[in-house]
A and B are shown apart, each in its own frame.
Chain A
Amino acid sequence: MDAIYGLMHGFGVALMPANLMWCFVGCFLGTIIGIIPGLGPSATIAILLPMTFNMDPTGGIIMLAGIYYGAKYGGSTTSILLKMPGEASSVISCLDGYEMARKGRPGPALGIAAISSFIAGTVGVVLLSFLAPPIAAFALSFSSPEYFALMVMGLSLVVLLAGDDVLKTLLALLVGLWLASIGTDLFTAQARFTFGQSALLGGIEFMSLAIGVFAIAEILLSVEAREKVEMLKIPKGLRNLLPSREELKACRFAFFNGSVTGFIIGVLPGAGSTIASFVSYGIEKAVSRHPERFGTGVPEGLAAPEGANNADTGGALLPLLTLGIPGGSSTAILMSALILWGVKPGPLLMTQQPDIFWGLVASMYVGNIALLIMNLPLIGVFTHILRIPLYVLYPIILGVAIVGAYSVSGNMVDVGILVGFGLMGYGMQKLGFPTSPLILGFVLGDAMERALRQSLSMSNGDPTILVARPISAVLFVMAAVILLSPLLRRAFAKRNLAAASAPHS
């Protein structure tokens, strides 16, 4: 009941005109800047941070949080319209989001992203308001062996991302793992696979890989296909701007899945929203009645990761506000801002400075509603991007990609890497290798290696630590179920088909 009292107090703070305005301003700016590919939530917060220096802490943190989840709303726009991920956690949204847009339903795709973000964002805040202390304790029981099990579960999802050729899927995944280990080893500072290039010491930028393999490869394929593939015909009329009832109905489970998966993974300091989005996509596909249609533009394949991406916000704020632990770079910047104002996030925040804690939490209910209202009318504007002729659109996309890659380090080598990944993505498609397992391997590889080595250091080399703990055991069982789900399904299908049909590869 403390929570209800606190929340009521919080709404008193959040609904004060000044704070309400800061919440709106933050959400708006976050959405707008978050749309630019390469500028994810943490970058957007860092950009706008100086604006809040002269504000009072409550208004300031409300605005910064608004920027944070606003940027997450904005991140999916270019993923859906251009197959150019706006931020790391929207990479997986490219798969079904872009295919939906290609099928002539860009408006509904953007609408589903916004609605799913709203539902999951709100569920995340509800869980943050009422379950913060027990969930914080749960997060702490999660250590390296559990992370390893989580990553194994994530990798088992690769079976579900598989095309028809399991061998090539696994090879793509392994190449992803390799790419993830390029750079300086965290444990020993050994430079690995850097070919003597100091530009590679920091590892490969995830966004360079994703933009190269998805956006640039897509442009090459489209150039190759010429006029034969008519891209993106957009039917007119309001009905085609918003998702239909059937589409929303298909997303029912995805809304729930995205909310819960995103929140739980968001709470864990070592995981983050990118992993949350991949896992929720995999779960969605595992339970789906028609998994084979994933990747062809099914709305639930977009709703689940976009939801997870936004439920993650509430999850990530939980350890920050209740323990003083920032889980990722976005929350670390929020924390540094709080400290600059003289506010110490930590176990004592909730009781000693309830205005800040509950004011922030309450403002997030308001902000999510504001974002939904703000984003739905913007859909009509954004879909106009697709009316730009290709000969103008493609140079712009490639230019933005080049500038983005160059600006990270001011080094042309990084542009070369981006361009190389473009060719790799194109070549993989031509040779029949699916690209999403490569991305998945890259996303999980780093965290997986780390967790494995940390676990074995903790146990002095005893591998049973990986499975002997309750949470990791549960996760391994889930991994096994996921691994077996398509096999079981295939077995059933084969029996039904009978022996008459020709063998499939």
Chain B
Amino acid sequence: MMTGKTPYGDLLSGLFITALSIYIVTAAVPWGVYGAAGPGPAFFPLIYGGLMLVLGLVLLGRSLFGRRTVTAAGEQPAVDPEGRRAAMATWLALAASIPAMMLLGFLGGFFLFAFFLIKVIFHKPLITSVVAAVAITGGLYLLFQVLLDVDLPLGMFKGR
């Protein structure tokens, strides 16, 4: 199901996983591996952390010295830089909606996010974008805050 399998990606994930496993092991050790009542909090993390370290190093080694995954040139999935940019922009907007909601409340923050998504990512006309973003934000507010009485994120100025 995968595209863009480059040794560079493997190298990066190998480095990340090795670092993560070192963090797991070093964080866990002080918690106690084995006590009078049986295995301690570090017991299990050391097992999977150790395994992760070994396998992470294998992945690293494979990406550096292993045989390259042979893919025929034609099969090489074309990386679509524009598409990738769109995906990253979507994610960044989603991440940015968190501080936006903390500042402006749910209505303001989510409206901005929905508007950005529809206008910039989906290239819809301005009017459509505003109408759709307002309708979606309002609909969610109506469903959760009004109908189900679920508290939505509250802004700095005590507005939802």
Contacts and interface: CB of A to CB of B under 8 A. Distances in A.
Q: Do A and B come from one complex?
A: yes
Interface in B2-50: 2-5, 9-10, 12-13, 17, 20, 24, 27-28, 31-32, 34, 37-41, 43-45, 48-49
A104 interface: no
A365 interface: no
B64 interface: no
A175 B9 contact: no
B130 interface: no
Interface residues of A, number: 64
Interface in A152-202: 163, 167-168, 170-171, 174-175, 177-178, 181, 185, 187-188, 190, 192-193
A217 to B, nearest CB: 10
A453 B31 CA distance: 15
A220 B140 contact: no
B151 A410 contact: yes
Contacts of A177: 44, 48
Contacts, number: 174
Contacts of A185: 31, 41
Contact of A457 (B17, B37, B83, B118): B37
A305 B89 CA distance: 35
Contacts of B49: 178
A384 B97 CA distance: 29
A478 B137 CA distance: 51
Contacts of A503: 70
A433 B4 CA distance: 12
Contacts of A416: 95, 98
Given A395-B136, A452-B44, A402 B4 contact: no
Interface of chain B: mostly helix, strand, loop or mixed: helix
B83 A399 contact: no
Interface in B94-153: 94-95, 97-98, 101-102, 110, 113-114, 117-118, 121-122, 124, 132-133, 136-137, 139-140, 144, 150-153
Interface residues of B, number: 68
Interface of B: 1-5, 9-10, 12-13, 17, 20, 24, 27-28, 31-32, 34, 37-41, 43-45, 48-49, 51-52, 55-56, 58-59, 62, 69-70, 80, 83-84, 86-87, 90-91, 94-95, 97-98, 101-102, 110, 113-114, 117-118, 121-122, 124, 132-133, 136-137, 139-140, 144, 150-153
9 contacts: A187-B37, A192-B27, A193-B27, A223-B83, A295-B1, A406-B152, A416-B95, A419-B91, A452-B39
Interface of A: 163, 167-168, 170-171, 174-175, 177-178, 181, 185, 187-188, 190, 192-193, 216, 219-221, 223-226, 295, 390-392, 394-396, 398-400, 402-403, 406-407, 410, 412, 415-416, 419, 422-423, 426, 429-434, 448-449, 452-454, 456-457, 460-461, 502-503, 505
